[in-house]
Structure 1
Amino acid sequence: MQTLTVATAQYGLQDVQSDAAFWSRLGKKLREAADRGAKLIIFPEYVTAHLLSYQQVMTHEEACSHLDTYTNAYITFFQRYSRELNVIILGGTHICREEQGFVNKAILFFPDGRMEEQNKLHLTPEERNRWSLVEGDKLNIIETQWGRWAILTCYDIEFPELARLAAESGVELVLCPSYTDTAFGYHRVRYCCQARAIENQFFVVLSGMVGSLPEDRPQVDQGYCQAGLFTPCDTPFSEAGIIRAGELNQDMFVIAELDFAKLHENRKQGVVAPFYDRRRLYKRELRKIRIEEC
């Protein structure tokens, strides 16, 4: 397959009063995106943390335990909608318990029931120190009929080595579910998404939360985002490397088509070729520095 219609969410935080209301709203959003032709639908990081909005204020440890109780419901819900709507869904991320502790996990759901998981690999200081989450240690390279994909969650996109590892593993599409609550955090993630697309000559799709809750919660209370679909800044794409971006901080889907034939054209005939032209001297120099430090 050469083209893929993607709907990436600017997911609006708003007052919901029950579990049923939360899942119903998500279902309506999924149907909206599918009705508009999307074959891949992407939700943001910590999407299920919205379930905390109508609970009593919790500590981070209590919040992790509470969210973990929804793990089966989370999986069942997205499996059902992926199958019924015949779409691939990145169900944002969800905090759940594994043997080593609580993790921030993204799951990609396929219509045939397949699930591909990716634990966040780089935790922010808040996630390490306040949430006490445990980082992942493996990058999952996901095979699809559109080629290979990877999931780099929010802070993960800020590490060029990880994106290069994905690119050298054949990845042509990176999904970046994010949660940023300030313009500072958003622009760090946004600019890194675009940088990674340029460096590696692949697509990056960003999703995030927007809006605010009527009452503050110490885990998730407000979001700042302008979601988008990004490309190299080179022919045959636009000068800015943006296929489409949303309206800042509006509850909406950003929907556009990814054309993988154009990506292959860029890699073969672009004015520059940073994916191919990176020199190996960086690794050599790093080895020298390590030896000298020892």
Structure 2
Amino acid sequence: MSRPVAIAAAQYPVEALAGREAYADKLAAWVGEAAGAGADLLVFPEYGAMELASLDPATMGSLAGSLESVSALLDWVDGLHADLARRHGVHILAASAPCLQSDGNYVNRARLFAPSGKVGVQDKLVMTRFEREEWHVSPGAPLRLFETALGRIGVTICYDSEFPLLARALAEAGCEILLVPSCTDTLAGYWRVRLGAQARALEGQMVAVQAPTVGEAAWSPAIDVNRGAAGIFGPPDRGFPEDGVVALGEMDRAGWVMAKVDLALVAAVRADGAVLNHRHWAEQPGAAPLPRAEVIDLR
């Protein structure tokens, strides 16, 4: 018998930081607030880690310099997240960050921390025009599904959520909760990602969770303007709201958006929903078997 999973999606304000201790205190406060409210799964946004570039005034105004300075801090940042996940007994999708690879390229990497101490990594697969043309952030691989004590979790970072075959491959591997960390500087960008997340929830008959950056960081050429609202979405089907919106935050306002979702409802609509999108996918003209997502056990 499954129990409801309490999900907290961050509308996370990017800020100039006074030092490492300020970041550690901010992260601890955010995690402590959500965990104290009963959250099991905490979702931070895409590129929320770019606020760490403010710790190096010499490079924070440079696209290339900010990649280098933030990536250099990732081991320390990940240690903070691992400790908080273990201490509070929660799963945390850390804000994605640039990660330097052995070939000299940077990928946009999200990391899922389990209270067990295990960590799952998902890189962004399809880069936006800004990432590929100006910032020179590269696509990573592979697509992964994470087996957790809460359920089967997949991650499609921001723009990735706008490509249905990625989420479909996760759904075929058993994904129940799709995490969509986002970073958008216009309302149009926010709506593209939100509509993508809701469409993926509909197609895969699963829960999708969007968590955006919010606020302004004029000192950063990468995340200077941030618009969005966190949302938790399901298929508009039996047991879920008729519009599919389980919870939705106030636009651009910092804070957590929380809701409980019962994954038994995901199984129920896949088995006997008013429609059977998940099952009927293969009946589309041109539908073909997809490569399987790599399954990582974080239990």
> Which letter does structure 1 place at the counterpart of 2:78?
I
Mean Cα displacement is larger for which, 53-62 or 22-31? 53-62
Tell me how far apart the structure 1 counterparts of residues 149 and 27 of structure 2 sit (CA, whole Å).
26
Task: Tell me if structure 2 keeps the 8 A contact 1:40–1:89.
Answer: yes
Residues 96 and 257 of structure 1: CA distance in aligned 2, closer, same or farther (over 3 Å): same
Tell me which of 99, 115, 118 is aligned to 1:114.
118
> Which residue of structure 1 lines up, in the alignment, with residue 272 of structure 2?
269
Contact 1:13 1:222 in 2 (8 A): no
Which of 128, 131, 143 is residue 127 of structure 1 equivalent to? 131
Give the residue type in structure 1 aligned to 2:112: L
SS at match of 2:125: coil
2:82 corresponds to 1:73: no
Per the alignment, residue 23 of structure 2 pairs with 22
Q: Is the 8 A contact 2:46 2:158 kept in 1?
A: yes
Q: Which residue of 2 aligns with 1:43?
A: 44
* From 218, 222, 239, the counterpart of 2:225: 222
Give the CA deviation at 1:15.
Answer: 4.1
Decide whether the 8 Å contact of 1:5 with 1:37 is kept in 2: yes
Deviation at 1:261, TM superposition (A): 1.1
Report the counterpart of residue 255 of structure 2 in structure 1: 252
TM-score, scaled relative to structure 2: 0.91
Q: CA RMSD in A?
A: 1.4
User: Residue by residue, what CA displacement relative to the aligned partner does 1:242-263 show, whole Å, maximum 9, x if unpaired?
Assistant: 1111111100100110101112
Q: Select between 51-60 and 235-244 the one with higher mean Cα deviation.
A: 51-60
Which amino acid letter does the alignment assign opposite residue 84 of structure 2? Y
Q: How many residues align?
A: 283
For 1:122, give the aligned amino acid.
Answer: V
Equivalent residue, structure 2, for 1:292: none
Tell me what 1:291 maps to.
none
The equivalences for 1:47-66 within 5 A come to 47-53=48-54, 55-56=57-58, 57-66=60-69
| SS class of match (2:138) | coil
| 2:142 corresponds to | 138
> 1:281 is matched with which residue: 279, 285, 298?
285
Shift of residue 280, structure 1, vs aligned partner: 5.2
Q: Distance in 2 between matches of 1:83 and 1:149?
A: 18
Matched residue SS, 1:171: coil
Which residue number in structure 2 is paired with residue 4 of structure 1?
Answer: 5
Deviations 1:148-205 (A, max 9, x none): 2111000000001111111111111111111011101000000110011001101101
Q: Please report how far the alpha carbon of residue 44 of structure 1 lies from its aligned counterpart in structure 2 after TM superposition.
A: 0.5
Give the 3-state SS of the residue equivalent to 2:223 in structure 1: coil
The 2-side partners of 1:231 and 1:109 are apart by 24
The amino acid of 1:227's aligned partner reads: A
1:68–1:95 Cα contact (<8 Å) kept: yes
Report how far residue 7 of structure 1 moved: 0.7
Q: How does 1:183-262 map to 2 (within 5 A)?
A: 183-213=187-217, 215-262=218-265
User: Deviation of residue 91 (structure 1)?
Assistant: 0.5
Give yes or no for the alignment of 1:95 onto 2:101: no
Residue pair 1:45, 1:94 contacting (<8 A) in 2 also: yes
**Alpha-carbon deviations, 1:73-113, whole Å to 9, x = none?**
11111011011111110011011111232111000001111
- Looking at CA atoms only, which structure, 1 or 2, has the larger radius of gyration? 1
5+ residue gaps, structure 2, are: 289-299
Question: Counterpart of 1:170?
Answer: 174
Q: Greater shift after overlay, 134-143 or 13-22? A: 13-22
Contact 1:6 1:255 in 2 (8 A): yes
Q: TM-score normalised to the size of structure 1? A: 0.92
Letter in structure 1 aligned against 2:169: L
Q: Where do 5+ consecutive residues of structure 1 fail to align?
A: 285-294
- 1:11–1:44 contact (8 Å) kept in structure 2: yes
